[in-house]
Structure 1
């Protein structure tokens, strides 16, 4: 069940990558609040990417994909129990 749910992230990130380039704004010289419209596209899109990645990490898919135990799990790797690579 988790694997199937984790596979949903592949098309989500493919769409995020595909629309990171402002295709609909090519050739548009519109300026909004002193900046070209395509810059606002990027600002909004980066915000959306941040929210998507936050959801991805919170779902635990990052840890499973990296082969790590989720936080709070038993038998975590040494790096996860020490809090990363801090020494």
Structure 2
């Protein structure tokens, strides 16, 4: 996968995670699951998903769009 398409993919993942961060549809919902409000379980699941996504990003794509393959790194010494 090219660096540009990889950057677009990770940007899309970030947008989806941000969109799912606030459970708008669970506002005014009084359901309780295992003694905790349903919206709290949503956040537990979201944090797990965000952790998996960040680990995948950190191991596969850290530096995409920033680091170069040029000798010397193209940055400051």
Q: TM-score range by the shorter chain?
A: 0.7 to 0.9
Q: For the residues of structure 1 that align with 2:46 and 2:26, how far apart are their CA atoms?
A: 13
Aligned length, in residue pairs:
71
Cα RMSD of the aligned pairs, angstroms, is 2.1
List gaps (5 residues or longer) in structure 2: none
Q: For the residues of structure 2 that align with 1:68 and 1:42, how far apart are their CA atoms?
A: 36
Q: For the residues of structure 2 that align with 1:55 and 1:8, how far apart are their CA atoms?
A: 12
Render the CA deviation track for 1:40-83: whole Å, top value 9, x for unaligned: 00000000000011111111x222344388xxxx867xxxxxxx
Length-normalised TM-score, structure 1: 0.69
Length-normalised TM-score, structure 2: 0.77
Q: Structure 1 67/35 Cα, relative in aligned 2: closer, same or farther at 3 Å? A: same
Q: For the residues of structure 2 that align with 1:17 and 1:68, how far apart are their CA atoms?
A: 28
List gaps (5 residues or longer) in structure 1: 77-87
